[in-house]
A and B are shown apart, each in its own frame.
Chain A
Amino acid sequence: MTPGSTTHARPREDLHNEQELRALMVRYQAGEGEAVEALVARLSPPLLRYLGGPFVDRSDAEDLLQDCWLRIHRSRHTYRPSEPVLPWIFAIARHTRLDGYRRRRRIQSREVAPAGVLAEFSAAAPPDGGMAEVSRLLAALPESQREVIWMLKVSGMSLEEVARATSSTVGAIKQKAHRAYEKLRKVLEKERIRDRKTNSRVQAG
């Protein structure tokens, strides 16, 4: 990707256009089975990616996905056709993810010492190779900033939509994103310098 280019493949494109999603939600509220099938097919991949994150294994993420869809189903009357779909969906997914994290932490705290849980959590292996880089970079951020960056990256939502999904204000989300950008710059720079040193050693050797 060249820095001057003006077009990019955004995750949002996977989710199809907003009008289409709104129409499907209206049909879902009217009780149409085909709309459910279409929504599950379109929204499950980004939801699974969001719920899994870099620190949750696949089977746990799939359990969370099922729980999330049940919550969406129970709350479907709260969606209003005049409002965007993604913040509504991701707000429910965010709470499913938080509840899942708390549940996991509770179970782990019964099995091992709390300090051990934290160490284990931060050292957890990423679920697949493609996530290794993401997990390494996100691990450098505090939880609140990590959540914002993860949501922006996975869903392709705007800052305004992320603010809605997290019941926050645009100003607060912007502040978290900007702090995260600065930390990510530092981490990326460190990695670049390390890679260059390694390369020059290999060449010299």
Chain B
Amino acid sequence: MTAKRTLACKQVDGELDSVFGAPVGSLSEPARRHLAECERCRELYEWLLRAPARLDPSPEVCSRIRQALAASLAPVTPLPPARVTAARLAALFVFFLVGMLAVMGAGGVDRMTQLQILAMSGVLAGGVALLSLSLAWQMRPGSRHRVAVEAGVCLLSLAVLLAMALLFPWRWPEAFFRQGWMCGLMGAGAAAAPGAILFWLMIRRGSPLSLTRFGATLGAMAGLLAVAVLQFECRQQEAWHLLAWHGGVLVASVAAGAAAGRLAELRRARRNRPRAAGE
């Protein structure tokens, strides 16, 4: 009997999804049979496909919009594709890192085993790729986000901290505060802050919709740069030191970036308020 071969309501949901976005909606034969028999699904299907009535703005509003746009209608150059922007950001990261290590020396490399060098380089490279792409996606509204922004920043921070905790010995360093303070200061002042400015200069043409998320991602990128510089420069390769002073710079950078983004968002909201009210 055909009735017994019809789909369950939940299976029909998958077919309803395919109706959206298609100029001509079509359902499979079993789904159509199901709709003919199931009143609940039929009602839902009909309601979903019933487009709301057309609503036209008043002619005055349309003309005001046209005048406002025409007043500053200059040709613009489109942003490059996301992968090009991401590659530029990654290249800047490597260039800055190599420059810093050339000036400060790479004493930390001598203190690490091959496994530690390989694993930390892998985590840092993965983080740079993820954050560069995330920043490039956020620059353009309507981009396809393969990884959510919050998930990307959290995953990266966790991966760096976990790598430090698992790969390095848990020995209490001799001058934990005196040495650590120097590391934290150098990481934040000499690497994270100038790095953030350079990255921002590269992405300032973008139009991120959430400045808080954009700021947090930029902060994570700058923090990761500081972690990379400190990791290969610092001679204290103990887990306590790395987690507190190197990882601390990363966490502080993310928080500072998010806070700066939030402040910029509030400023933008205040600036937009009179315009939105049509004043």
Contact = CB atoms under 8 A, between A and B. Distances in A.
B32 A4 contact: yes
B142 A164 contact: yes
Contact of A189 (B27, B40, B210): B40
A69 B140 CA distance: 16
Name the interface size band of chain A.
35 or more
B25 A6 contact: yes
B142 A29 contact: no
B13 A95 contact: no
A153 B50 CA distance: 8
B43 to A, nearest CB: 4
Contact of A130 (B53, B75, B81, B210): B53
A120 interface: no
A49 B55 CA distance: 6
Contact of B51 (A6, A9, A99): A9
Contacts, number: 229
A164 B143 contact: yes
Contacts of B70: 33, 36
Nearest to A188: B43
Contact of A6 (B27, B46, B66, B75): B27
Q: How many interface residues does chain B have, given as a range?
A: 35 or more
B148 interface: yes
Contact of A188 (B13, B44, B140): B44
B24 A100 contact: no
B141 A3 contact: no
Contacts of B273: 103
Interface in A56-82: 62-67, 69-70, 73-82
Given A44-B62, A66-B68, A160 B57 contact: no
A189 B44 CA distance: 9
A156 B54 CA distance: 13
B36 to A, nearest CB: 5
B206 A78 contact: yes
A105 interface: no
Counting chain B CB atoms within 10 Å of each CB, which of A8, A30, A94 scores highest? A8
6 contacts: A1-B50, A31-B73, A67-B276, A69-B65, A79-B78, A154-B51
